[in-house]
Structure 1
Amino acid sequence: MHSILVEDYMDTNPHAISDKATVREAVSLFMRERIPGAPVINDEKTLIGFISEQDCIKEMLNDVFYCEESPAVTAVMSRNVRTVSPNASILEIAEAMSKAPPKNYPVVNEGKLVGLLSRKHILTALVETNEDCYIHH
């Protein structure tokens, strides 16, 4: 069986957002890149949180109703983020993901964001692994 490690399937160029960005800037990123959320990093590329479309909806409503200035992403992001290592097994992560969210796992090496693993990446790995089963039997 070929390798089924996170590093072999992760997005190595994830659309991260700066901890200095506003919620409005995060929403612009989501729309432009067609993504449902993004890791939040500081200037050293250390992961400090994750912001999703869901996190932004309430703040964007406030912008519309009260003409408030968009707050920083750090005000609404999730700080308790489940991360994975590049050398983690995709099978173990698929098992965990099948039982509960999140939809995306930031991939971190020594505290630094090095990639993003989504459900799409996990499904790709599982399909390829499944194809190997048919080839070898």
Structure 2
Amino acid sequence: MQSIKVADYYNHRPVTFKADMSIESAVEKLLQSCQTGGPVVDDLGTVIGFVSEQDCLQQMLNSTYQNEAHCVIGDVMTKEPLCVTPEHSVMTLAENMKIDKPKMYPVCDEQGKLMGVITRAHILLALDKHLHDNYAPGKRFV
């Protein structure tokens, strides 16, 4: 099971954000993509943060109460997101996701460049596929 790698299951084309993007624009992207969050990247594609629906929701509530709507992603993003590599173990990531950890992780190369994202749904798919492959009818165990 440890040999199941993130590389085989992550989303190669996630929705991304820029630090100077308005919260309102980010919310529109999230709603259109059905993603619950996403990596914030610089002009070179390096992950510099992560923004979630929860981050946006909190800021939009604050803006509503204050009747003011000028805030950008850089103001609310998590500045040191937890990234994984394509070689990371799906099992290890599944263990991390059981606890109060992110539901989505950026997948990055060694230089921190974004390659994609992996979510709990991707992890469930990997585990489900592995279980079905191991317990397929006619499969013999030695």
What TM-score, normalized by structure 1, do the two folds share?
0.91
Tell me which residue corresponds to 2:4: 4
Displacement after TM superposition at 1:72 (Å): 1.2
Displacement after TM superposition at 1:74 (Å): 0.7
Give the stretch that moved more between structures: 87-96 or 63-72.
63-72
Displacement after TM superposition at 1:64 (Å): 2.3
Runs of 4+ aligned residues of structure 1 deviating over 4 Å after TM superposition are: none
Answering whether residue 66 of structure 2 is matched by residue 89 of structure 1, we say: no
Aligned counterparts of 2:77 and 2:129: Cα–Cα separation in 1: 34
Give the stretch that moved more between structures: 77-86 or 93-102.
93-102
Displacement after TM superposition at 1:69 (Å): 3.0
Matched residue type, 1:73: I
Displacement after TM superposition at 1:9 (Å): 0.3
Answering whether residue 42 of structure 2 is matched by residue 42 of structure 1, we say: yes
What value does the CA root-mean-square deviation take over the aligned residues? 1.5
Tell me which residue corresponds to 1:24: 24
Q: Which runs of 5+ in 1 are unaligned?
A: none
Q: Which has the larger radius of gyration?
A: 2
Aligned counterparts of 1:10 and 1:97: Cα–Cα separation in 2: 15
Tell me which residue corresponds to 2:118: 117
Tell me which residue corresponds to 2:129: 128
Aligned counterparts of 1:119 and 1:65: Cα–Cα separation in 2: 33
What fraction of aligned residue pairs are identical, expressed as a percent? 38
| Conserved? CA contact 2:6–2:90, under 8 Å | yes
Aligned counterparts of 1:57 and 1:99: Cα–Cα separation in 2: 22
Aligned counterparts of 1:86 and 1:119: Cα–Cα separation in 2: 15
Q: Which runs of 5+ in 2 are unaligned?
A: none
**1:18 partner SS:** coil
